[in-house]
Each structure stands twice: as C-alpha cells, then as structure tokens.
C-alpha cells in the first residue's frame, strides 16, 4: 500500500534560518504529492503540490520538487519566520484517490 515517511520533529530554528523537512514515499503508479500546514488550533491548509515527476510546487517562499528517482518530496524554505511555526504534513494521493499522510513535523521558529 501507499506510505509516507517524514522526518521526525520537533524542529526548532532561529528566524531567517534555512529549513528542510524530508519526505519520502512509497506508492504504486504515479501519485500526486502535497505539503499541508496546520497552524495551532486550526485545520490543515494546502501549502503546495506537485502532480508529476520533476514538478516543483511553491508557495509563500516554500518549495518542494517531485523526485521520482529518489521517491522524495522534501520541503525547503530559504529564510523562515516566526509565523511559519506550525505542523507540516507531507501527503500523497494515488490510485485509491485518498490522501495518505506522513506523521507530521512540528516546526518552531524562535525570534
């Protein structure tokens, strides 16, 4: 079946630091890949997505590239802000047309 493995948190960074959250997946066929963000006390929001190999999704300074050869979709941001503190979820949608989520990575950015 499908699965998503995310780097375990929590991750604590200083403001303006570089962020990488690793995500790898196992799936049959050609899944779509997503990053969702959950701010404290809220539901999940789509951050970015990529639907085919070598696509790069980007939004709000975050980006991730769909790498089929390494089955990865790592999230990066060049300079994080305090307002980026949240839980980040990598997810895939495959032939079952349902989202499979990773375990989530808690990010805390300190001023």
According to DSSP, the residues that pair with 107 across neighbouring strands are 11, 86
Longest dimension (CA), the chain: 43
User: What phi and psi values does residue 105 have, to the nearest 5 degrees?
Assistant: -130, 120
Binders of other proteins in range 41-60 (CB under 8 A): 41-46, 49, 51
If one counts every other C-beta atom within 10 angstroms of the C-beta of residue 10, the result is 9
The nearest distance, CB 89 to other proteins, in angstroms, is: 7
Contact between 49 and 32 under an 8 Å Cβ cutoff? The reply is yes
Of residues 12 and 14, the one with the C-beta less far from other proteins = 12
Binders of other proteins in range 50-109 (CB under 8 A): 51, 87, 89, 93-101, 103-104, 106
Query: By CB under 8 A, how many residues form the interface with other proteins?
Result: 27
Note the residues at the interface with other proteins (CB under 8 A): 31-32, 34, 36, 38, 41-46, 49, 51, 87, 89, 93-101, 103-104, 106
């Amino acid at each position: 079946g499908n699965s998503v493995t995310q780097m375990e948190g929590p991750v604590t960074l200083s403001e303006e630091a570089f962020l990488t959250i690793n995500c790898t997946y196992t799936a049959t066929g050609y899944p779509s890949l997503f990053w969702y963000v959950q701010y404290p006390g809220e539901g999940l929001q789509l951050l970015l997505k990529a639907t085919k190999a070598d696509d790069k999704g980007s939004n709000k300074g975050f980006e991730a590239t769909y790498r089929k050869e390494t089955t990865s979709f790592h999230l990066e941001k060049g300079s994080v802000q305090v307002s980026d503190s949240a839980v980040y979820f990598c997810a895939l949608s495959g032939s079952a047309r349902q989202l499979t989520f990773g375990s989530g990575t808690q990010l805390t950015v300190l001023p």
